[in-house]
Chains A and B, each alone.
Chain A
Amino acid sequence: MKTNFLKIVLPAFAIILAVGLAFATEDNSVDRLAYYNVPGQGWQSTMVQESCDDSGAIPCKIGVYQLYEEPDFGSTQLHKD
């Protein structure tokens, strides 16, 4: 009885728990498009997480390059909290 519990019931419960949790915490956040300028190569695009927007103190960068909302230095520089 005890062996069955350890070998079948508990692992089955663990599987159900993990699969259930995966569906329950399904990530619905949407990534957004951002742009950065590489000298000599021009504007490049990349996807960043929604947390990168026009507010916040930390600049959103890819490598050393600042990310912008549009492929234009005059557009909003993206930041995050």
Chain B
Amino acid sequence: MSKTTTYQKLIYAIGLVLSVLFIYTATSKLVQLDTFQSQLERMPYLSPYATWLTWTVPFTELVIAGLLLIEKHRTLAIYASLFLLGFFTIYITAVLQFSDSIPCSCGGVLSMLGWQDHILFNLTFMALAFCAILLIRKQNKLKLLDQDTT
């Protein structure tokens, strides 16, 4: 099996894992939309935008999840995943400086995680996305080398 094929399979696997995460969290939010909105209304800095964010966050997650499943858009979607997870992590870290009693507005079973656990969880998926980006770059370099040699 060539290196390019291995990289391609790894990128595909990471994309699949990330898309499961985004579909899971988006669905969890949409299932309990009222709860999600009321949680956002109590979040520091975000409360003025709660109504708008109630729809935007799950919609963005679903769009990214969809793009991750389409080969043509996978690279863009992996960058978007890294950006979105990074934004969530920075926000959680900022909130931690403010209070330890603010309810989580994350979806499903993730709402049972503590803030520190949640940061660790996000960092793990960010690391996966980062690995995928590195693999995409390596794959592109190999493709360029192949083109040069032929």
Which residues of A approach B to under 8 Å, CB–CB?
A: 6-7, 10-11, 14-15, 17-19, 21-23, 25-27, 29, 31, 46-49, 52, 58, 60-63, 67
Contact = CB atoms under 8 A, between A and B. Distances in A.
A52 B99 CA distance: 14
Nearest to B23: A18
6 smallest CB-CB distances across A and B, nearest first, come from A22-B27, A18-B23, A25-B109, A18-B24, A11-B69, A22-B28
A37 to B, nearest CB: 15
A11 B99 contact: no
A20 B107 CA distance: 13
* Chain B interface, DSSP helix/strand/loop, else mixed: helix
B42 A26 contact: no
A58 B116 CA distance: 15
Interface in B108-124: 108-109, 111-112
Interface size class for chain B?
Answer: 20 to 34
Contacts of A61: 99-101
Interface string B17-55: 001111111011001100100110010000000000000
Interface centre among B16, B71, B101, B103 (most CB of A within 10 A): B101
A22 B111 contact: no
12 contacts: A14-B16, A14-B20, A15-B69, A18-B27, A22-B28, A22-B31, A27-B107, A27-B111, A27-B112, A46-B101, A47-B38, A67-B101
A19 B16 CA distance: 14
